[in-house]
Chains A and B, each alone.
Chain A
Amino acid sequence: MSQIVKIKIAATGRTIELPTGLFINNEFVPSVDSQETLSAINPATEEEICKVVAASEKDIDLAVKAARAAFKNTWGKNVTGFERSRLLYKLADLIERDQQELAELETLNNGKPVRIARDFDIGDTVQCLRYYAGWADKILGETIEVDNKTKLAFTRADPIGVCGQIVPWNYPIMIWAWKVAPALAVGCTVVMKPSELTPLTALKLSQLVKEAGFPPGVVNTVPSLGHVGGAALAAHMDVDLVAFTGSTVTGKKIMEAAARSNLKKVLLELGGKSPNIIFESADLEQAATWAVLGTLSNSGEDCTAGSRVYVQESVYDKFIDLLIEKVKSTPVGDGFDDAVTNGPVISKTHFDRVWGHIESGKREGAKILVGGERRVGSGYFIDPTVFVDVKQDMKIVNEEIFGPVLAVGRFSTEEEAIELANNTRYGLGAGLHSRDANQAMRVSLALDAGTVWVNQYDILHNNVPFGGKKQSGIGRELGKQGLDEYISVKAIHWNFGEKASWPV
Chain B
Amino acid sequence: MPGVFTHQFANESFNGQVNINTGLFIDGQWVDGSGGSTIDVLNPTNGELLAKVSEGTAEDVNLAVAAAQRAFDTTWGHNTPGSVRGILLNKLADKMESQYDALCAVEALDNGLTFQWAKNADVPASIATIRYYGGWADKFHGKTIETDKNKLAYTIHEPIGVVGQIIPWNFPLLMLCWKIGPALATGNAIVMKPSEFTPLSALMMAEMIHQVGFPAGAFNLVVGYGSTVGQTISEHPLIEKVAFTGSTVTGRKIMEAAAKSNLKNVTLELGGKSPNIIFNDADIDQAVNWAAHGVYWNHGQCCCAGSRIFVQSKIYQEFLEKFTKKVKSIKVGDPFGKDTNQGPQVSQLQFDRIMSYIESGKEQGANIHLGGGRVGDKGYYVEPTIFTGTKPEMKIVQEEIFGPVAVVIKFEDEDDVVRQANDTLYGLAAAVFSKDIDRALQTVNKLKAGTVWVNCINVLNHNVPFGGFKQSGIGRELGEYALSNYTNVKAVHVNIGQKMF
Contacts and interface: CB of A to CB of B under 8 A. Distances in A.
A134 B139 contact: yes
A154 to B, nearest CB: 12
Contact of A133 (B135, B141, B496): B135
Interface string A120-156: 0000000100110111111010000000110010000
Nearest to A463: B138
Interface in A450-470: 461-463
B438 to A, nearest CB: 4
Contacts of A152: 441
Contacts of A149: 442, 445
A396 B97 CA distance: 57
A138 B83 contact: no
Contacts of B496: 438, 441-442
A461 B81 CA distance: 11
B82 A463 contact: yes
Contacts of A461: 83
B463 interface: yes
B139 A138 contact: yes
Contacts of B136: 134, 138
Given A137-B135, A138-B480, A441 B442 contact: no
A256 to B, nearest CB: 35
A89 B131 CA distance: 10
B132 A89 contact: no
Given A130-B90, A138-B136, A496-B437, A462 B83 contact: yes
Contact of B141 (A130, A441, A480, A494): A480
Interface string B397-439: 0000000000000000000000000000000000000000110
Nearest to A483: B139
Given A138-B463, A480-B141, A148 B86 contact: no
Nearest to A440: B496
A463 to B, nearest CB: 5
Nearest to A133: B135
Contact of A148 (B90, B137, B445): B445
B275 interface: no
A135 B445 contact: no
A441 B480 contact: no
A127 to B, nearest CB: 6
A140 B138 contact: no
B87 A85 contact: no
B494 interface: yes
A304 B136 CA distance: 29
B97 to A, nearest CB: 11
Contacts of B497: 438, 442
A438 B137 CA distance: 31
Interface string B125-137: 0001001101111
A139 to B, nearest CB: 10
A135 B463 CA distance: 11
Contacts of A82: 128
Nearest to B141: A480
A365 interface: no
B152 interface: yes
A85 B83 contact: no
A356 interface: no
Contacts of B132: 137-138
Contacts of B442: 149, 496-497
Please classify the interface of chain B as helix (H, G, I), strand (E, B), loop, or mixed, using the class held by over half of its residues.
helix
Nearest to A127: B83
A134 B494 contact: no
Interface in B50-93: 82-83, 86-87, 90
B441 A496 contact: yes
B91 to A, nearest CB: 11
A134 B135 contact: yes
A131 B86 CA distance: 9
B139 A130 contact: no
B463 to A, nearest CB: 6
Given A82-B128, A497-B442, A441 B135 contact: no
Contacts of B138: 131, 134, 462-463
A463 B441 contact: no
Contacts of A441: 152, 494, 496
Contacts of B137: 134
Contact of B139 (A127, A148, A480): A480
Interface string A424-446: 00000000000000100110010
B436 to A, nearest CB: 9
A502 B131 CA distance: 53
B117 to A, nearest CB: 19
B83 A131 contact: yes
Contact of A496 (B83, B134, B438): B438
A497 B440 CA distance: 11
A130 B86 contact: yes
A130 B128 contact: no
B480 A463 contact: no
A440 to B, nearest CB: 9
Given A441-B494, A463-B83, A85 B131 contact: yes
A461 B131 CA distance: 21
Contact of A463 (B90, B139, B152, B445): B139
B480 A130 contact: no
Contact of A89 (B90, B139, B152, B463): B90
A363 B102 CA distance: 75
Contacts of A134: 86, 134-139
B292 to A, nearest CB: 26
A131 B90 CA distance: 11
Interface string B305-336: 00000000000000000000000000000000
A134 to B, nearest CB: 3
Nearest to A86: B131
B142 to A, nearest CB: 12
Contacts of A136: 135
B437 to A, nearest CB: 6
Nearest to B138: A463
A130 B90 CA distance: 9
A415 to B, nearest CB: 15
A497 B149 CA distance: 46
A101 B135 CA distance: 28
Given A130-B86, A438-B496, A462-B83, A85 B135 contact: yes
A135 B134 CA distance: 10
Nearest to B439: A496
A270 B139 CA distance: 26
B477 to A, nearest CB: 16
B499 to A, nearest CB: 12
Nearest to B495: A438
B139 A135 contact: yes
Contacts of B139: 134-135, 138, 463, 480
Most buried by A among B135, B137, B496, B497: B135
A445 B150 CA distance: 11
B441 A494 contact: yes
B439 to A, nearest CB: 8
Interface string A174-213: 0000000000000000000000000000000000000000
Contacts of A127: 83
Nearest to A140: B480
Interface of B: 82-83, 86-87, 90, 128, 131-132, 134-139, 141, 149, 152, 437-438, 441-442, 445, 463, 480, 494, 496-497
Q: 10 closest A-B pairs (Cβ-Cβ)?
A: A134-B135, A496-B438, A441-B496, A496-B441, A463-B138, A438-B496, A137-B463, A148-B445, A441-B152, A152-B441
Given A134-B138, A462-B83, 14 more contacts: A89-B90, A130-B86, A130-B87, A134-B139, A136-B135, A137-B135, A138-B132, A148-B445, A438-B496, A461-B83, A463-B138, A496-B437, A496-B438, A497-B442
8 contacts: A85-B135, A133-B135, A135-B139, A138-B463, A152-B441, A438-B496, A441-B152, A496-B438
Interface of A: 81-82, 85, 89, 127, 130-131, 133-138, 140, 148-149, 152, 438, 441-442, 445, 461-463, 480, 494, 496-497
